[in-house]
Chain A
């Protein structure tokens, strides 16, 4: 039991100690920008996705990789939802037409 507790504690510390690197942040930003470009192709960039992208770029400029990673992942998730919304609307909009 003692050993198990020790392993769990070490694991928890090792996770917390794993800070994002510049490469992590840059890769996350590139991934988010790619999805956001897809959303832009539909003319449907979401305001909070753009705000998160900007925050990620600002954090990278300040070399705050953890913050950059969080913001880039947020931007990617929001942009992905925008793309899905646009894809759904490609056909669904017709249901709303007044007939």
Chain B
């Protein structure tokens, strides 16, 4: 064998050994989103993207009929009024929520959660609201229900029909937060050995006792929600903590970084699904 042939053989072996280029974190996230949305479109071929934000009502005709009747007098209306009043009321220092958000906080819900490059963490709308309050000398609100649900209800209502528009910046910390949320979503936990995906991917649209399980795609678009089971309004934190308990897993604290990362992942997976909040659920 000539030296030239040996060199060619070595070069070819080197190329084989190199294998495909590893994907960047952002490319992986984009591929995840594409596969995620394709899965749900395959499973619910007649469902337009816009309807995924309506959860169980989008995938069960009987429930949809009941929902349409409920919506004659939406049970979250009182929260909308309360939230609007609070949003427009000035803090003791003369400033207001509008001073803390882009576009005065109107029509921005679909861009949350977002990655904050300054703090290196995911900031949800709820967390941003409390940071706004604290920056203006006000006490933070409780995260699961009450005024927090009312303010987010109002802000969501100003974003109705605007599609989720979550971005992941090219920052290793943002990609790590996305990956952590993804891991949380697919990891089984609790005595019942369920993951979020067990119900909202594998069994989406099916019954779990009396409930119809909402598809994971667009699942956060309707929040905050008035849930008949609760008899009151609840935020995403309330839903995450009650899901954890249902799996016999001790819930994390509201706005724990694990929950915020989960919200980041789920919202990014739902890009393109319009905001439908505030919503109502059985």
Q: Which A residues are closer than 8 A to B by beta carbons? A: 43-48, 50, 78, 82, 85-86, 89, 92-94, 96-99
Contact = CB atoms under 8 A, between A and B. Distances in A.
Nearest to B258: A43
Q: Kindly list the 5 A-B residue pairs having the minimum CB-CB distance in the complex, ordered from nearest.
A: A45-B250, A96-B186, A93-B187, A93-B186, A47-B248
B195 A96 contact: yes
B201 A98 contact: yes
Contacts, number: 52
A82 B182 CA distance: 20
> Do most interface residues of chain A lie in helix, strand or loop, or is the interface mixed?
helix
Given A47-B190, A89-B189, A98 B32 contact: yes
B193 interface: yes
Given A93-B195, A96-B195, A97-B32, A46 B186 contact: no
B190 A44 contact: yes
Nearest to B247: A47
Interface residues of B, number: 22
Contacts of B183: 93
Nearest to A45: B250
Contacts of A46: 190-191, 248-250
B252 interface: yes
B179 to A, nearest CB: 11
Interface in B181-202: 182-183, 186-191, 193, 195, 197, 201
B249 A44 contact: yes
B67 interface: no
A48 B188 CA distance: 16
Contact of A47 (B39, B182, B191, B197): B191
A82 B193 CA distance: 9
B245 interface: yes
Contacts of A48: 191, 248
B35 interface: yes
Given A96-B197, A98-B39, A43 B252 contact: yes
B186 to A, nearest CB: 4
